[in-house]
Amino acid sequence: MKMQLSEIARALDADEIPDQWSEIDVTSVQFDSRKLSSGSLFVPIMGQRDGHDFIEQAVEAGAVATLWGREHQDDQPQNIPSILVDDPLAALQKLAKYYLDKLNPKVVAITGSNGKTTTKDMTASILASEYNVVKTQENFNNELGVPITILGMSSNTEILVVELGMDRPGQLHFLSDLVQPDIAVITMIGEAHIEFFKTRDRIADAKMEITDGMKEDGCFVFNGDEPLLTKRAEDVDVEHFTFGLKSDNNIHAFDIKSQDQTTSFKTNLDEEAVVTIPVIGDYNVTNALAAMAVGEKYHISVQNEIKALAKFDLTKNRTQWLTGKNGERILSDVYNSNPTAAKAVLDSFANTESNGKRYVVLGDMLELGDDADEMHASLAEKLSPARFAAVYLIGPHMKALRDRLLNEKIYDAGAVYYYDADELTRLSRDLNHQLTASDSVLLKGSHGIHLENVVDELEA
């Protein structure tokens, strides 16, 4: 982005900027003083700490101006221009809305219990074959991250691919109203955040909020294999486009073949063309179909879609293959987890090639509510010595899985290892001692368990 400070003040209906500062160019917006660069507008956000306390660090890092909460007016900085606002976060969102309207790109918004980040990466790759595309980076998918994503667009952006997350009712309604999608995508309905929503029906209701802000001539792209979505889609008065593995979808896959680190399939768009994606699992085939559906709406050729999917840039720690210090192969899928996702990746990992043994590391799946222990224990149906030599479990809820594996004699005690949530270092040490160059290991868990730290310790 590039806006003069005077334009930012007008966009926020704030007081006029004094003449000596009005033509200052702002080239980025940032709320984290550690990530600021020269030319940034600093937005102090109330988190665990009050962002206003970091204004000096922001100035030292290159901030040229700041939004400033009116309740902190007595501490208003004197060495940098500041725009007084009632609420810096609300002002950030208002500025993002202004900038989005100014550039007026097409907007593809993506949500879902699983797969939204991978689908976002796939979709952006397909669209980038013919358009200037900006996509959500990292996990910037909430009320704070989405405005930062919007304000990170360059002036020549033609399509914004934005991931929208949620953990409570009303959140997607707000975000959808902010971005006003031309295309809204729902990947699937799972158990993520069921602790708060109680049922999958309520999760589906909340996910459907992504359609609330859609443009009248928009298109709703959704998983046609999910009855919870097909039923609710009847009330959405825009064009529908479905994807899935069943043949009655607008786009469906068949002849799916799993390789060691890739998956190939064909679609009804061109029944002879083979699509190969550099990730494993039928669930990633479904993600690819969602991305191809968006590509179809923007008239991307099937051949260009195939080329883009073959080399798309996958966000870190989503079914990512790595090499360990001992030469072992590591499948890192540690950003989030729920029973549906965990069972799917266990199936996929069990079918990968291995010259040695396969090991599994499973961390707690968070926000599953009263039935969390039973949901953890249900993973036992995907675990057996024929598939995996040993199972490493970490977190209080994984005790239920350990107990089922041992009580039902699925594994001997010597092949099930359990760790408290704060024993990541011991887990890393034990794995490094166990794994050999011919082995492979899967790590899967919710982000709050921080298995990414174990991945870092294992990785060469």
Q: What's the pLDDT band for 319 if we cut at 50, 70, 90?
A: confident
pLDDT at 195 over 90: no
320-458 shares the fold of 3-85:
no
Name the pTM for this structure.
0.89
Crossing angle, helix 282-297 and helix 339-350, to 10 degrees? 110
* Residues in Cβ contact with 29 at an 8 Å cutoff, skipping those fewer than 6 apart: 1, 40, 41, 43, 92, 95, 147, 148, 151, 152
**Nearest C-alpha neighbor of 226 from the set 180, 190, 263, 269:** 190
pLDDT of residue 368: 87
* 152 has binding-site annotation: no
- Written as one string, the DSSP assignment of 183-216 is EEEE----STTHHHH-SHHHHHHHHGGGGTT--T
* 118 has binding-site annotation: yes
Question: Which residue, chain included where needed, has tokens 């249900």?
Answer: 378
SS3 content of the chain, % helix, strand, coil (to 5): 40, 25, 40
Classify residue 165 by its DSSP letter: -
Strand-pairing partners, residue 331, are 321, 442
Query: With contact defined as beta carbons under 8 Å apart, do 133 and 161 qualify?
Result: yes
Identify the weakest region by mean pLDDT among 20-29, 184-193, 339-348, 415-424. 184-193
Residue 138 exposure: Cα atoms within 13 Å on the Cβ side: 8
* Residues in Cβ contact with 253 at an 8 Å cutoff, skipping those fewer than 6 apart: 245, 265, 266, 267, 275, 285, 286, 288, 289
pLDDT of residue 365: 94
Helix (H, G, I), strand (E, B) or coil at 85: strand
Query: With contact defined as beta carbons under 8 Å apart, do 18 and 6 qualify?
Result: no
Query: With contact defined as beta carbons under 8 Å apart, do 17 and 5 qualify?
Result: yes
**Nearest C-alpha neighbor of 280 from the set 265, 294, 259, 307:** 259
Domain topology for 105-310 = UDP-N-acetylmuramoyl-L-alanine:D-glutamate ligase (3.40.1190)
Rounded distance between C-alpha atoms, residue 114 and residue 188, angstroms: 6
Average pLDDT, integer, range 142-148:
97
- For 279, 346, 347, 379, the CA distances from 352, given in Å and listed in that order, are 11, 10, 9, 19
The greatest distance separating any two alpha carbons of the chain, rounded to the nearest whole angstrom, comes to: 77
* 35 has binding-site annotation: no
pLDDT at 320 over 90: no
**Nearest C-alpha neighbor of 154 from the set 12, 3, 295, 8:** 3
pLDDT of residue 335: 85
Give me the phi and psi of 287, to 5 degrees please: -60, -40
Rounded distance between C-alpha atoms, residue 443 and residue 441, angstroms: 7
Average pLDDT, integer, range 46-67:
93
Question: Which residue, chain included where needed, has tokens 């040695």?
Answer: 356
What burial letters (b/e) apply to 151-182, b meaning 16+ CB within 10 Å?
bbbeeebbbbbbbbbbeeeebbbbbbebbbbb
The H-or-E segment that residue 282 falls in is: helix 282-297
CATH number of 3-85: 3.40.1390.10
pLDDT at 348 over 90: yes
Identify the weakest region by mean pLDDT among 191-195, 261-265, 303-307, 372-376. 191-195
- For 78, 97, 105, 459, the CA distances from 153, given in Å and listed in that order, are 30, 12, 10, 33
What residue ranges do the domains of the chain occupy?
A: 3-85, 105-310, 320-458
* 116 has binding-site annotation: yes
Query: With contact defined as beta carbons under 8 Å apart, do 357 and 368 qualify?
Result: no
Q: What's the pLDDT band for 194 if we cut at 50, 70, 90?
A: low
pLDDT at 413 over 90: yes
**Nearest C-alpha neighbor of 434 from the set 378, 357, 352, 373:** 357
- For 15, 356, 372, 419, the CA distances from 376, given in Å and listed in that order, are 55, 27, 6, 15
pLDDT of residue 175: 98
Q: What is the pLDDT of residues 204-232, one digit of tens each?
A: 999 999 999 999 999 999 999 999 999 99
Q: What's the pLDDT band for 190 if we cut at 50, 70, 90?
A: confident
* 117 has binding-site annotation: yes
Q: What is the pLDDT of residues 243-271, one digit of tens each?
A: 999 999 999 999 999 988 899 999 999 99
| Amino acid at the residue 403 | D
To the question of domain 320-458 being in CATH 3.90.190.20, the answer is yes
Query: How many other CB atoms are there within 10 angstroms of residue 415's CB atom?
Result: 16
pLDDT of residue 90: 98
* 268 has binding-site annotation: no
Classify residue 18 by its DSSP letter: P
* 115 has binding-site annotation: yes
Q: What's the pLDDT band for 193 if we cut at 50, 70, 90?
A: low
pLDDT of residue 316: 77
Strand-pairing partners, residue 69, are 85
Classify residue 263 by its DSSP letter: E
Please compute Rg for the chain using Cα positions.
24
Rounded distance between C-alpha atoms, residue 230 and residue 223, angstroms: 8
Query: With contact defined as beta carbons under 8 Å apart, do 319 and 263 qualify?
Result: no
The sign of the dihedral angle between the CA atoms of 452, 453, 458, 459 is: positive
pLDDT at 56 over 70: yes
Average pLDDT, integer, range 17-39:
92
Rounded distance between C-alpha atoms, residue 107 and residue 180, angstroms: 7
